[in-house]
Amino acid sequence: MWPLPQLTIGCHRAKVNVDDGFLNLMTQDGTAKDDVKIPESELGKQIQVDFEEGKDLMVTIISAMGEEQAISCVYVPVALVLVLTTLSLNSVKEAPKGS
């Protein structure tokens, strides 16, 4: 029996700065992530258009076998982004020791 690859799905706030075909994302702990390529699909085109319109986005990234790919993107109003970021950062700070 072959081992199954580990699959990870994460949502990242996209301080989407499209730079040479890559997304500049912010992880849930507030660190920058800039190594995910823009998909060569309708999704990639929509990300580019939304970026040019100045929208804040939430991008879902799937990771498996050392590869990462953006699989969805939604517009998130700025007020909601601030609430989600605050909740995310607070949950990281308040995580119990040993977890």
Q: Which DSSP letter does residue 70 get?
A: E
Instruction: Give the model's pLDDT for residue 85.
Output: 59
Q: What is the DSSP letter of 99?
A: -
- Assign 92 a pLDDT band (cuts: 50, 70, 90): very low
Secondary structure of 1-66 as H, E, C letters = CCCCCCEEEEEEEECCCCECCEEEEECCCCCEEEEEECCCCHHHHHHHHHHHCCCCEEEEEEEECC
- 3-class secondary structure, 81: helix
The pLDDT of residue 62: 84
Spell out the CATH class of 7-93.
mainly beta
pTM of the model: 0.64
- pLDDT reading at 45 higher than 80: yes
pLDDT tens profile 49-79:
988 888 888 888 888 888 888 888 888 776 5
